[in-house]
Amino acid sequence: MSDLEALLDRLKAAQRMLVLQAAELAMLPPDGTLRKIADLENTIAAVEALIDEERHADPRP
């Protein structure tokens, strides 16, 4: 597994943990938690884009 894929797995696990913790609350999660979830989503998208670029990169001699 590449370093990027390992990072992606860690990011997704961290986001999942925050979402599951937020689901246990009887109210909306705190703004800080919502921000962390959103920041993780943006980072996940960026890492997925990099992985996709690497997969489709033209090998240069």
CA 23 to chain centroid: 18
Percent of the chain with pLDDT over 90: 85
Give the Cβ contact number of residue 24 at 10 Å.
Answer: 7
Q: Where are the domains of the chain?
A: 3-57
pLDDT tens-place string over residues 15-33: 999 999 999 999 999 999 9
Q: What is the pTM of this model?
A: 0.86
